[in-house]
Amino acid sequence: MNHRLLIKNGCVLTLDKTLGDFKKADILIEGTKIVAVQPELEASDCEVVDAANMIVMPGFVDTHRHTWESVVRNVGADWSLEKYLGRMYYGNIGAKLRPQDGYVANLLGALEALDAGVTTLLDWSMINSPDHTDELIRGLQASGTRAVFAHGAPGDAEYWSRESQIRQSDDSRRVKKQYFSSDDQLLTMGLAIRGPEFSAWETAVDEIQFARELDVLCTMHLGFGTWGSVDRSIEKLHKAGLLGPDLNFAHANTLSYEEYKLIADSGASISVTPEIEMMMGHGYPATGLFMENGGRPSLGVDVVVSTGGDMFAQMKFALQAERSRINEKMLSRGEMPMEFTISARDILEFATIDGARALGLDHKIGTLTPGKEADLIMIRTDDLNMFPVNHPIGAVVQCANTSNVDSVFVAGKAVKRHGKMLYADIQHLRTLANESRDYIFSQYGIPEEAWPI
């Protein structure tokens, strides 16, 4: 018999437009699935979870994160995009990662995400060898997270080569067969490709077609910095008949207005990573431009070498950056802004259901809908920064932070309760993470006394 869980008396934000939200309601979970959401549910043979003074909502969905960077986190606090690329990839820090470091890094990074209420992430991985692949996957598995493992190109000096592409393709076939023969599991597969702005056009076409052969999501960095406004990559993909809902574009800051409409019309997705984009020099976040053309962006943390791994910060950055963009237009015309074109609910949807849709998982997660997997979080509302709650969605988007995340469930299983992660041996993980960090930096040639690099 499936384990039954009854979450009682929470302020429930289902984010399901048909079901609506509840000032007070209960959620019944059987096994991995949500069975019912309504006030005053009666059910027997259940473990009861008291959600009084809690907001209960879907877990956050992060659609673009380089999870392995957790073991070298915050070293890039002052890095521009060019400095980041030069120091992390193409034979540098990323190439020093041993397989065992990949396991520790992905485990640590995924636990960080879960602790912050991120129940699903797209791990845009960097693969140096098949052994690295196996250990990165093992790290995600050990964490208990839901993730799309986007099998990626190596971060070594051969990143651009045809030989590198062939090796990646061979390993991707193995990985799909060995780890992802079923889509009915917490971890599913994607392909992290170079894309037309980081490879020859023919290579990009081959890799998109290969992702479709594998029947997996295809994600790429595209349309940022000085590349996006010059390459017109989306127009090229459209003319080649390659755009579709299985393509995900990270950033997309500097595309033409028409290209945003092409993406929206095709059903493809954009992952906005607002904090990193504004910090590093990718360009202004594409949130509003995509919305104006009928799209619904998703949100990602991106690089944890430069920022924390939570979605609360990304929601605020995305919301205020877009409001500022519109406000500045009005102020320049001598007008005072009166109404906002983007709401707190929009942002919360970007961080949940729109993220699920971008990853092709909206049939499973993203809303608290009966029949979907029970990925949900509980946020305390009696903390000093939260009470009294007068606008629950506003409280989550504008006031909450990671310290308010009381409980996290993935597919009905608790991974955090009463503010504490349930992972068994965090102290041992700290030791392993420090050892990996020390090894990577020593191989990079930076003595400890010279940190930060």
Give a yes or no: residue 286 inside a domain. Answer: yes
Residue 426 is given by DSSP the state: H
CB within 8 Å of 52: residues ≥ 6 apart = 8, 9, 10
Give a yes or no: residue 240 inside a domain. Answer: yes
Rounded to whole angstroms, how far apart are CA atoms 90 and 225?
18
Q: How many residues are recorded in the chain?
A: 453
Q: What angle, rounded to 10 degrees, do the helices at 99-115 and 130-143 form? A: 30
Specify the pLDDT at position 89.
79
Give a yes or no: residue 365 inside a domain. Answer: no
Residue 202 dihedral angles phi and psi, to the nearest 5°: -60, -35
CA–CA distance from 65 to each of 28, 62, 148, 185, 303 (Å)?
31, 7, 10, 20, 6
Q: What angle, rounded to 10 degrees, do the helices at 426-444 and 99-115 form? A: 130
Specify the pLDDT at position 294.
98
For residue 156, what are the domain limits?
Answer: 60-356
pTM for the full predicted model: 0.96
Specify the pLDDT at position 95.
86
Q: Mean pLDDT, 10 residues at a time, over the chain (453 residues)? A: 91 98 98 97 94 99 97 92 86 89 98 98 91 97 98 62 65 95 95 91 94 97 79 94 98 96 98 97 96 98 96 98 95 92 97 98 98 98 98 98 98 98 96 95 72 59
Give a yes or no: residue 153 inside a domain. Answer: yes
Number of domains in the chain: 1
Residue 128 sits in a domain of what CATH number? Answer: 3.20.20.140
Give a yes or no: residue 374 inside a domain. Answer: no
Q: Are 238 and 262 in contact (CB under 8 A)?
A: yes
CB within 8 Å of 96: residues ≥ 6 apart = 439, 440, 443, 444
Specify the pLDDT at position 439.
93
Give a yes or no: residue 83 inside a domain. Answer: yes
Give a yes or no: residue 285 inside a domain. Answer: yes
Give a yes or no: residue 18 inside a domain. Answer: no
